[in-house]
Structure 1
Amino acid sequence: MSFQRKDYSNEQQKKSLSPSEAKVKIAAFCAYQERSQQEVRDKLYSYGLFSEEVEDLISLMITENFLNEERFAQSYVRGKFNLKKWGKIKIEQGLKQHRITVNCIKSGMREIEQDQYWETLLGLAQKKWETTHDTDLFKKKVKVHRYLLSRGFENDLVQAALEEIRSGK
């Protein structure tokens, strides 16, 4: 006895939502956490809405204060710095991927205090220095340097942090 597989592909396709249905879903989507306009736009397009409907709903979400790019940028910066320990370069790149305006990026970056930024960089550098098991000091320094650059920290600050660690503070 052979079993045949039923083709569900047509039944499983997403059905398009009406603008009023999409409004309810997108309001919940925005209320759950801060979103960028681009995230909301992509989500609305996934609901099968047309360009004009999408832009109208985005305008409505902005006027009803569900959507605020500056608030999103500030939240994004705080989260990526405090939780993930990202540097400014990586955070800024992430905001640009969300198509955040330059002014909102600047506003978001003000969430990082310089003293806290330096302490975070030093802490990461120290931890990586201690866990990098390389007998050649030059190779060890290169590995730690590359690691900190990949975290999005600025080259000059990384060099200063490594100098401070190697000199014994």
Structure 2
Amino acid sequence: MLSKKTYTLQEATKKLEHYCAYQERCHQEVRKKLETMHMIPEAIDVIVVHLLQHNFLNEERFAKTFVRGKFNIKRWGRCRLTLELKRKDISKVNINQALAEIDEGEYIEVFNALSEKKAKSIKEVNIYKKRKKFTDYFLYRGWESYLVYEKAHELIS
């Protein structure tokens, strides 16, 4: 028979402090982690409040870090970033603050560089299929449709 590891409130708090110190976390991730540790709802609330009071958990900081990382590394657009943050139950205010940190000039510059690279890499003869592949690629990554369609017609003709 498998026995579940149980944690005292202090052990769980320490474990979650390390969990949050290692990498920025959102409230949802912390709650899920505590649920997998088989903590009761009252203990979860106590630990989350402790983490908030001691600045281990900060939704605004998480949103900004998430946006910066996904934009710089995965090259996601604003639509995808917004969607992913909403999935993590981040408030609209924090989402908007995080997205505001992306410089508009850099955003367009990254999109232009990426789109030119992608247009060259698509090995399709049919112009319509090539445009479809191009637009699907960028729409999936959350770039605004008006930018994508405009660029598709500009680069692929």
2:24 counterpart residue number:
34
Confirm or deny: 8 A CA contact 2:131 2:156 kept in the other structure: no
Counterpart of 1:59 (choices 49, 52, 74) is 49
State the TM-score, normalizing by the size of structure 2. 0.94
Q: State the percentage of identical aligned residues.
A: 38
**What are structure 1's unaligned runs of at least 5 residues?**
1-9
For 2:74, what is the secondary structure of its paired residue?
coil
CA shift at 1:163, angstroms?
Answer: 3.7
RMSD: 1.3
**What are structure 2's unaligned runs of at least 5 residues?**
none
1:82 counterpart residue number:
72
Q: Does 1:116 align with 2:106?
A: yes
CA shift at 1:136, angstroms?
Answer: 1.7
State the TM-score, normalizing by the size of structure 1. 0.88
Structure of larger gyration radius: 1
Counterpart of 1:147 (choices 118, 126, 137) is 137
Cα distance in 1 between the residues matched to 2:64 and 2:4: 34
Q: Which runs of 4+ in 1 moved over 6 A?
A: none
2:6 counterpart residue number:
16
2:40 counterpart residue number:
50
Give the partner amino acid of 1:125.
S
Q: Which has the higher helix share?
A: 2
1:7 counterpart residue number:
none
